[in-house]
Amino acid sequence: MSRVWLRFFTHPSSTTETHTFILGSTPNGLSERVATHLLPPSCTFTDLRMLVECVNDRGMNRRTTVYQDLLHLMTSSPNPHGYGARELRGYRFGYIEGVGGQETAEVSVARDYDKSLVPSLIPLDAEGERVRDVIPNLLEVDVILVPVSQIRQKDGACTAIAWREEFEMKEAEKMKKTVDYINSIDLEKYHAKGVGGDAGEEDEETKAMIAAEG
Protein backbone atom coordinates (compact mmCIF):
# COMPACT_ATOMS: atom_id res chain seq x y z
CA MET A 1 0.00 0.00 0.00
CA SER A 2 1.16 3.52 -0.78
CA ARG A 3 -0.01 6.67 0.95
CA VAL A 4 -0.86 9.67 -1.19
CA TRP A 5 -1.58 13.20 -0.02
CA LEU A 6 -3.81 15.54 -2.03
CA ARG A 7 -3.68 19.32 -2.50
CA PHE A 8 -5.47 21.90 -4.64
CA PHE A 9 -3.81 24.41 -6.96
CA THR A 10 -5.03 27.61 -8.62
CA HIS A 11 -3.03 30.49 -10.05
CA PRO A 12 -2.69 33.35 -7.55
CA SER A 13 -5.20 36.14 -8.16
CA SER A 14 -4.05 39.73 -8.52
CA THR A 15 -5.43 42.28 -6.08
CA THR A 16 -5.60 44.73 -8.99
CA GLU A 17 -8.04 42.46 -10.85
CA THR A 18 -10.08 40.95 -8.00
CA HIS A 19 -11.92 42.67 -5.18
CA THR A 20 -10.26 41.92 -1.85
CA PHE A 21 -13.49 40.50 -0.41
CA ILE A 22 -13.67 37.91 -3.21
CA LEU A 23 -9.92 37.39 -3.13
CA GLY A 24 -10.07 36.54 0.56
CA SER A 25 -12.77 33.92 0.02
CA THR A 26 -11.02 32.03 -2.78
CA PRO A 27 -7.95 29.80 -2.27
CA ASN A 28 -4.92 30.94 -4.24
CA GLY A 29 -1.77 29.11 -5.18
CA LEU A 30 -1.05 25.80 -3.51
CA SER A 31 -3.35 24.65 -0.71
CA GLU A 32 -2.45 22.79 2.42
CA ARG A 33 -3.03 19.03 2.31
CA VAL A 34 -6.75 18.37 1.99
CA ALA A 35 -6.94 14.56 2.10
CA THR A 36 -4.92 11.35 2.18
CA HIS A 37 -5.57 7.88 0.80
CA LEU A 38 -3.92 4.51 1.05
CA LEU A 39 -3.57 3.13 -2.45
CA PRO A 40 -3.25 -0.55 -3.37
CA PRO A 41 -0.41 -1.34 -5.78
CA SER A 42 -2.85 -1.66 -8.70
CA CYS A 43 -4.48 1.77 -8.18
CA THR A 44 -4.62 3.90 -11.34
CA PHE A 45 -5.40 7.60 -11.65
CA THR A 46 -8.87 6.57 -12.85
CA ASP A 47 -9.31 4.69 -9.58
CA LEU A 48 -7.96 7.69 -7.67
CA ARG A 49 -10.65 9.87 -9.26
CA MET A 50 -13.26 7.61 -7.70
CA LEU A 51 -11.60 7.95 -4.30
CA VAL A 52 -11.48 11.74 -4.68
CA GLU A 53 -15.12 12.06 -5.74
CA CYS A 54 -17.13 9.30 -4.05
CA VAL A 55 -17.45 7.60 -0.69
CA ASN A 56 -19.70 4.68 0.20
CA ASP A 57 -21.92 5.72 3.07
CA ARG A 58 -24.17 2.93 4.38
CA GLY A 59 -24.48 1.36 0.97
CA MET A 60 -24.90 4.64 -0.93
CA ASN A 61 -22.31 6.48 -3.01
CA ARG A 62 -22.02 10.11 -1.92
CA ARG A 63 -19.76 12.99 -2.86
CA THR A 64 -16.77 13.36 -0.60
CA THR A 65 -16.20 16.59 1.32
CA VAL A 66 -13.01 17.10 -0.66
CA TYR A 67 -14.87 16.82 -3.96
CA GLN A 68 -17.49 19.33 -2.81
CA ASP A 69 -14.69 21.75 -1.96
CA LEU A 70 -13.09 21.04 -5.35
CA LEU A 71 -16.39 21.69 -7.15
CA HIS A 72 -16.60 25.08 -5.45
CA LEU A 73 -13.01 25.81 -6.46
CA MET A 74 -13.63 24.74 -10.06
CA THR A 75 -16.66 27.01 -10.48
CA SER A 76 -15.48 30.04 -8.49
CA SER A 77 -11.82 30.38 -9.48
CA PRO A 78 -10.71 32.90 -12.13
CA ASN A 79 -11.33 31.58 -15.65
CA PRO A 80 -8.62 33.30 -17.76
CA HIS A 81 -9.06 30.95 -20.75
CA GLY A 82 -12.81 31.36 -21.12
CA TYR A 83 -14.06 27.84 -20.44
CA GLY A 84 -17.82 27.30 -20.67
CA ALA A 85 -19.87 26.61 -17.54
CA ARG A 86 -20.05 22.86 -18.16
CA GLU A 87 -16.36 22.60 -19.03
CA LEU A 88 -15.38 24.20 -15.72
CA ARG A 89 -16.49 21.11 -13.79
CA GLY A 90 -13.31 19.22 -14.55
CA TYR A 91 -9.85 18.80 -13.04
CA ARG A 92 -6.50 17.25 -13.80
CA PHE A 93 -3.90 15.51 -11.69
CA GLY A 94 -0.44 16.99 -11.33
CA TYR A 95 2.58 17.30 -9.06
CA ILE A 96 5.42 19.68 -8.23
CA GLU A 97 8.84 18.21 -7.54
CA GLY A 98 9.80 18.92 -3.94
CA VAL A 99 6.21 19.51 -2.79
CA GLY A 100 5.50 16.68 -0.38
CA GLY A 101 7.30 14.67 2.26
CA GLN A 102 7.18 15.31 5.97
CA GLU A 103 5.53 18.48 7.26
CA THR A 104 5.73 19.96 10.73
CA ALA A 105 4.28 22.98 12.50
CA GLU A 106 7.45 24.88 11.55
CA VAL A 107 7.54 23.71 7.93
CA SER A 108 4.64 24.57 5.61
CA VAL A 109 5.15 23.52 2.00
CA ALA A 110 2.17 25.59 0.85
CA ARG A 111 3.72 28.67 2.46
CA ASP A 112 7.40 28.11 1.68
CA TYR A 113 7.52 26.49 -1.77
CA ASP A 114 8.83 28.36 -4.83
CA LYS A 115 5.78 30.32 -6.01
CA SER A 116 7.13 30.49 -9.56
CA LEU A 117 6.52 26.74 -9.93
CA VAL A 118 3.32 25.29 -11.36
CA PRO A 119 2.22 21.64 -11.38
CA SER A 120 3.43 19.24 -14.03
CA LEU A 121 0.20 17.71 -15.36
CA ILE A 122 -0.41 13.99 -15.75
CA PRO A 123 -1.40 13.36 -19.41
CA LEU A 124 -5.02 12.28 -19.78
CA ASP A 125 -3.98 9.19 -21.71
CA ALA A 126 -1.80 8.15 -18.75
CA GLU A 127 -4.65 8.09 -16.24
CA GLY A 128 -5.16 4.40 -16.91
CA GLU A 129 -1.65 3.72 -15.60
CA ARG A 130 -0.80 2.92 -11.99
CA VAL A 131 -0.15 5.94 -9.82
CA ARG A 132 3.04 4.42 -8.43
CA ASP A 133 4.42 3.95 -11.97
CA VAL A 134 3.82 7.57 -13.00
CA ILE A 135 4.87 9.10 -9.65
CA PRO A 136 7.21 6.52 -8.08
CA ASN A 137 8.27 8.76 -5.15
CA LEU A 138 4.86 9.28 -3.51
CA LEU A 139 6.53 9.61 -0.12
CA GLU A 140 8.21 12.80 -1.35
CA VAL A 141 5.65 14.17 -3.84
CA ASP A 142 1.99 15.04 -3.22
CA VAL A 143 -0.70 14.69 -5.88
CA ILE A 144 -2.23 18.04 -6.83
CA LEU A 145 -5.76 18.57 -8.17
CA VAL A 146 -5.83 21.35 -10.77
CA PRO A 147 -9.15 22.79 -12.06
CA VAL A 148 -9.24 22.84 -15.87
CA SER A 149 -9.85 26.60 -15.73
CA GLN A 150 -6.18 26.94 -14.78
CA ILE A 151 -5.04 25.12 -17.94
CA ARG A 152 -4.76 26.71 -21.39
CA GLN A 153 -6.75 24.81 -24.03
CA LYS A 154 -4.42 25.68 -26.92
CA ASP A 155 -1.38 23.78 -25.65
CA GLY A 156 -2.39 22.27 -22.28
CA ALA A 157 -0.04 24.55 -20.34
CA CYS A 158 -0.77 25.20 -16.67
CA THR A 159 -0.73 28.98 -16.90
CA ALA A 160 -2.95 32.00 -16.29
CA ILE A 161 -1.61 33.71 -19.43
CA ALA A 162 -4.01 33.53 -22.37
CA TRP A 163 -2.60 32.19 -25.66
CA ARG A 164 -3.07 35.48 -27.53
CA GLU A 165 -1.49 37.41 -24.67
CA GLU A 166 1.55 35.12 -24.68
CA PHE A 167 1.84 35.40 -28.49
CA GLU A 168 1.77 39.19 -28.23
CA MET A 169 4.38 39.08 -25.45
CA LYS A 170 6.68 36.95 -27.64
CA GLU A 171 6.20 39.25 -30.62
CA ALA A 172 6.96 42.29 -28.44
CA GLU A 173 10.10 40.58 -27.16
CA LYS A 174 11.24 39.82 -30.73
CA MET A 175 10.63 43.43 -31.72
CA LYS A 176 12.60 44.67 -28.72
CA LYS A 177 15.56 42.45 -29.64
CA THR A 178 15.45 43.80 -33.21
CA VAL A 179 15.37 47.40 -32.00
CA ASP A 180 18.19 46.73 -29.53
CA TYR A 181 20.31 45.23 -32.34
CA ILE A 182 19.70 48.21 -34.61
CA ASN A 183 20.56 50.62 -31.82
CA SER A 184 23.80 48.74 -31.20
CA ILE A 185 25.09 49.39 -34.73
CA ASP A 186 27.75 52.11 -34.92
CA LEU A 187 26.18 54.18 -37.71
CA GLU A 188 29.06 56.68 -37.87
CA LYS A 189 31.57 53.91 -38.42
CA TYR A 190 29.32 52.26 -41.00
CA HIS A 191 28.83 55.58 -42.82
CA ALA A 192 32.55 56.40 -42.74
CA LYS A 193 33.34 53.04 -44.25
CA GLY A 194 30.87 53.61 -47.05
CA VAL A 195 32.13 57.13 -47.83
CA GLY A 196 35.82 56.46 -47.43
CA GLY A 197 35.91 53.24 -49.38
CA ASP A 198 37.66 52.95 -52.74
CA ALA A 199 35.12 54.08 -55.32
CA GLY A 200 36.91 52.07 -57.97
CA GLU A 201 36.86 48.92 -55.98
CA GLU A 202 34.00 46.64 -56.82
CA ASP A 203 33.00 43.59 -54.86
CA GLU A 204 33.01 40.17 -56.47
CA GLU A 205 29.20 40.03 -56.76
CA THR A 206 29.10 43.33 -58.70
CA LYS A 207 31.89 42.14 -61.04
CA ALA A 208 30.04 38.91 -61.67
CA MET A 209 26.82 40.81 -62.50
CA ILE A 210 28.68 43.09 -64.94
CA ALA A 211 30.37 40.12 -66.57
CA ALA A 212 27.05 38.36 -66.94
CA GLU A 213 25.44 41.40 -68.57
CA GLY A 214 28.37 41.80 -70.93
What pLDDT, on a 0 to 100 scale, did the predictor assign at position 96? 92
CA 73, CA 147: separation in Å to the nearest integer? 7
Answer yes or no: are the C-beta atoms of 155 and 170 closer than 8 Å: no
What pLDDT, on a 0 to 100 scale, did the predictor assign at position 162? 78
Amino acid at 75: T
What pLDDT, on a 0 to 100 scale, did the predictor assign at position 22? 43
Strand pairing partners for 62?
55
Q: Where are the alpha helices (DSSP H) in the chain?
A: 20-25, 45-53, 65-76, 109-112, 131-134, 163-184, 187-196, 204-213
What pLDDT, on a 0 to 100 scale, did the predictor assign at position 35? 94
What pLDDT, on a 0 to 100 scale, did the predictor assign at position 34? 93
What pLDDT, on a 0 to 100 scale, did the predictor assign at position 137? 87
State which residues of the chain have pLDDT below 70.
13-27, 104-107, 163-174, 186-214
